[in-house]
Amino acid sequence: MGFSAFPPKPTNESALATIGEWSKRADAAIIHNSVPYKAILSGISASTYVNTVDLPLANLYRGKGFPLVITVDVTDGLNRAAENPDLVALGRSITEPAVQLVYRQYVQALTSIIRPDYIGLAAETNLIREQAKPAVYSALVQMTNAAAADVRAIGGTLPLMYVSVQADLAWGPPPAAYRGVETDFRDFPFMQVMGISSYPYFVYSDPDQIPLDYYVRLANGRAISMMVVEGGWTSASVGSVQSSPAKQARYLRRHERMLDSAKAIAVFQLDYTDLDLTAYPPQPPGSIISLFASLGFVDTELHGKAALATHDSIFARPLRK
């Protein structure tokens, strides 16, 4: 169980304070990174970038004895219909071989320099397939499979590879029929572990409505390990989403049963804290960031919410052998 370094405010001090707090109630860590297209396209080598930007954080986690998971996000994490904002600003696209090479170089550098225990080569692939242009999804399939071959060629102790799928899309959402993720298994055959993204408050009004086989059904009978690499339930009401701190805590208890049903090997929530959106740069019109701003188990001042005690009780369970 673990979290990422995402802080309530965009400062190093806030990030370090956040890590200091959640590391007391976690036994693993995750890094969720967008590809640094702009930096590498400007002439900075992928290895220089990883050594300068990513390795210090990885070393901090390793110093705490945490297994390390890294997800590489290829497109726009807040808008799967769009490409990475830096690429959009540059007028570039992952459909270009040169841009695909940047991604592959970054994955190679992360793998060879940091040697994570698990590496996700893309995030929410089924949502990208659903919302992005077909040429973008086709490029995603091509570049991730090429990167998987690059990783295997590095040698030594290698991370287990995955892509993440969006569970809520795979299930419909209701009243649509269950879709599953068979296309993702076909298009990303290098998957050794299934990564899952899950924000079911977009679909269900009450945590107890979520089927207990929400994750296990995705495997469709395959003997593949599962881990949730991002997700959660908001504690605030925003727009059509109605929630509360008590409902968030109830979700964690329901989630515990869903994870048990899938015999999940890990669960990560990217946001340990709520986000102070006033401290971050203004978002573009139509941004959905406010829907993710209250996922934390603590508020922006690191004061615990009801969900924190529930998390702690789950974390206190003995590890399954």
Question: Where residue 128 sits, what CATH number does that domain have?
Answer: 3.20.20.80
Mean pLDDT lowest among 86-95, 232-241, 284-293: 284-293
239-267: average pLDDT: 97
pLDDT of residue 308: 98
Residue 321 lies in a domain: no
Residue 320 lies in a domain: no
DSSP 315: H
Residue 13 lies in a domain: yes
Residue 261 lies in a domain: yes
Domain count, the chain: 1
278-296: average pLDDT: 89
CB atoms within 10 A of CB 276: 16
178-197: average pLDDT: 98
Q: What six digits make up the tokens of 118? A: 């698990």
Give buried/exposed letters for 88-114 (b at 16+ CB in 10 A, else e).
eeeebbbbeeebbebbbbbbbbbbbeb
The residue ranges of DSSP E strands in 221-284, in sequence order, are: 225-231, 266-269
Considering Cα of 71, then 72, then 76, then 79, what sign does the dihedral take?
negative
Average pLDDT across the chain, whole number: 96
Residue pLDDT, tens place only, 306-315: 999 999 999 9
How far apart CA 84 and CA 38 sit, in angstroms, is 10
Residue 204 lies in a domain: yes
Residue 223 lies in a domain: yes
Residue 95 lies in a domain: yes
Segments forming the whole domain that contains residue 221: 2-315
How far apart CA 193 and CA 282 sit, in angstroms, is 36
DSSP string, 152-198: HHH-SS-PEEE-EEEHHHHT--TTSPP--SHHHHHH-TT-SEEEEEE
Residue pLDDT, tens place only, 23-61: 999 999 999 999 999 999 999 999 999 999 999 999 999
